[in-house]
């Protein structure tokens, strides 16, 4: 891993208003670029908006398409890797998908693997665990409910992940209550797997009657919170993720657990 400056944006999204949501996304790219950010992560389905209703299918688009082309344009314009969420349609199915746009025109795609019970009638689960590479690092993406399954983070770590980005569209509770909820499991994902965790949520009320507590979090490979954000308003976390902090853990025989796994037992 190389040192990298990342950003995680806590963002409000409108239901089915892709043009508005793309404009909201772009407004954060200039301050991020000015701050030297190389990789920026937006919340789950920030471009489509999030709701648990069949109406959301109106915001679904194919890939490649207008959304992926716009993100590719933004990535080149601002010279930044952009992680952003949308509702994808393909072969009659809907997926909660997250795109990885690089300045060279590359578009990567992660489809949410674990579908919460409230989403099961709407969404199809993805079936591929992926890593992406950019700026001298390897990283995975998980979407919201995915983070509750430790095996997925372990798999990504074994594949070589240095960072796992976990964008959320998680309604209910206050920002502080949501942070408390995240602190029950996200530090464990970082600590057990010796990698960085970066999480961000949507914020504010949308027209579907959902209210999202603005929450953001960056956790180092020792399981320590190094950045946090709790507010009902939009905001951005900027954090320098250091290779040395990863190396300290992974070069410590008692703190780097993965090499001592015994998968034949479980």
Q: How many domains does the chain have?
A: 1
Residue 55 has a pLDDT of: 86
d(CA 255, CA 257): 6
Range of the domain at 145: 4-265
For the chain, the maximum distance between any two Cα atoms, rounded to a whole number of angstroms, is 52
Helix H or strand E encompassing 266: none
Residue 39 has a pLDDT of: 98
Residue 128 has a pLDDT of: 97
Residue 56 has a pLDDT of: 86
Each residue's pLDDT expressed in tens, for the chain with a length of 266 residues:
999 999 999 999 999 999 999 999 999 999 999 999 999 999 999 999 999 988 889 999 999 999 999 999 999 999 999 999 999 999 999 999 999 999 999 999 999 999 999 999 999 999 999 999 999 999 999 999 999 999 999 999 999 999 999 999 999 899 999 999 999 999 999 999 999 999 999 999 998 889 999 999 999 999 999 999 999 999 999 999 999 999 999 999 999 999 999 999 99
Residue in 2, 46, 4, 7 with CA at minimum distance from that of residue 23: 46
Give the DSSP per-residue string, 9-55: EEB---TT-HHHHHHHHHHTHHHHHHTT-SEEE--TTTTT---SSGG
Q: Residues 175, 169: contact at Cβ < 8 Å? A: no
Q: Residue 120: which CATH number?
A: 3.60.110.10
Residue 189 has a pLDDT of: 98
């Amino acid at each position: 891993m190389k040192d990298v400056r990342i950003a995680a944006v806590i963002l409000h999204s409108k239901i089915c208003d892709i043009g508005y949501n793309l404009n909201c996304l772009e407004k954060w790219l200039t301050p991020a670029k000015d701050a030297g950010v190389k990789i920026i992560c937006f919340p789950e389905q920030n471009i489509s908006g999030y709701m648990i209703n069949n109406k959301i299918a109106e915001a679904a688009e194919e890939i490649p398409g207008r959304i992926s082309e716009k993100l590719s344009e933004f990535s080149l314009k601002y010279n930044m890797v952009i992680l952003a969420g949308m509702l994808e349609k393909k072969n009659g199915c809907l997926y909660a998908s997250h795109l990885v746009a690089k300045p060279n025109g590359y578009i990567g795609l992660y489809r949410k693997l674990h579908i919460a019970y409230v989403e099961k009638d709407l969404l199809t689960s993805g079936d591929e665990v992926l890593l992406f590479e950019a700026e001298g690092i390897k990283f995975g993406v998980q979407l919201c409910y995915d983070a509750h399954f430790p095996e997925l983070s372990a798999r990504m770590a074994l594949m070589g992940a240095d960072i796992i980005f976990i964008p959320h569209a998680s309604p209910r509770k206050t920002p502080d209550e949501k942070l408390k909820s995240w602190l029950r499991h996200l530090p464990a994902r970082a600590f057990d797997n010796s990698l960085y965790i970066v999480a961000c949520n949507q914020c504010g009320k949308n027209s579907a009657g959902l209210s999202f507590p603005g929450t953001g979090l960056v956790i180092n490979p020792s399981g320590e919170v190094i950045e946090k954000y709790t507010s009902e308003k939009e905001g951005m976390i900027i954090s320098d993720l250091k290779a040395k902090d990863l190396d300290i853990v992974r070069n410590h025989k008692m703190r780097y657990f993965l090499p001592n796994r015994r998968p034949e037992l479980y």
